[in-house]
Amino acid sequence: MSVVCNHDPYFVQKEDVFHVLGLLPEQKITAALRMLAYEVYAYQVDEIARMGKITVLESLMQFCSVIEALYTNEYLRKPTLRDMRRLLRKGEMRGFPGMIGSIDCMHWTWKNCPSAWQGAHGNRK
C-alpha cells in the first residue's frame, strides 16, 4: 500500500474544502482488489468499501495503472533465458521436468476430491 500511495497521490487521504477527510488508501485499494479477486461489479463492492460506484471504478482504474507502471519491467514482460532456467528448475524439483507454464491436472484421479464435486470437471476420471 505504501508503494502505491508513494507512486500515485490519488490514493493518499486528503481533506476537501470543508476540511473533511476523504477516503482512506485502504478503502480505495481494498475496493480495487475485491473487484479483481472476486470478479464482481462496482455495485457489489460499494457498500463494503463505503464508496460510491464511480469512486470504486475510479480506484480500480488508478490501481491498475499504478501496478502496471510499477511492475511492468519486472513482472509483466517476456521471460528471459535466466527466468526460463529458473522456472524449469522449479518445475523439475516439483516433479514436472520440462514444464514451463501451468499444467492441466484434470486427467488425474482425484481420490480425495469431495463427492459433492464429482463430475464438476467434465467427463474426467
- The predicted model scores a pTM of 0.64
> Per the domain annotation, does 124 fall within a domain?
no
Residue 65, pLDDT above cutoff 90: yes
> Per the domain annotation, does 80 fall within a domain?
yes
DSSP the chain: -HHHHHH-GGGS--B-TTS-B---HHHHHHHHHHHHHHT--GGGTHHHHT--HHHHHHHHHHHHHHHHHHHHHHHSSPPPHHHHHHHHHHHHHTT-TT--S----TTS--TTS-GGGTTTTSS--
- Chain segment 68-84, per-residue pLDDT in tens: 999 988 887 888 899 89
Task: Report the number of distinct structural domains present in the chain.
Answer: 1
Domain limits at 22? 1-116
- Model pLDDT, residue 79: 84
> Per the domain annotation, does 2 fall within a domain?
yes
> Per the domain annotation, does 123 fall within a domain?
no
- Chain segment 5-60, per-residue pLDDT in tens: 999 999 999 998 899 999 999 999 999 999 998 888 888 887 777 888 999 999 99
> Per the domain annotation, does 125 fall within a domain?
no
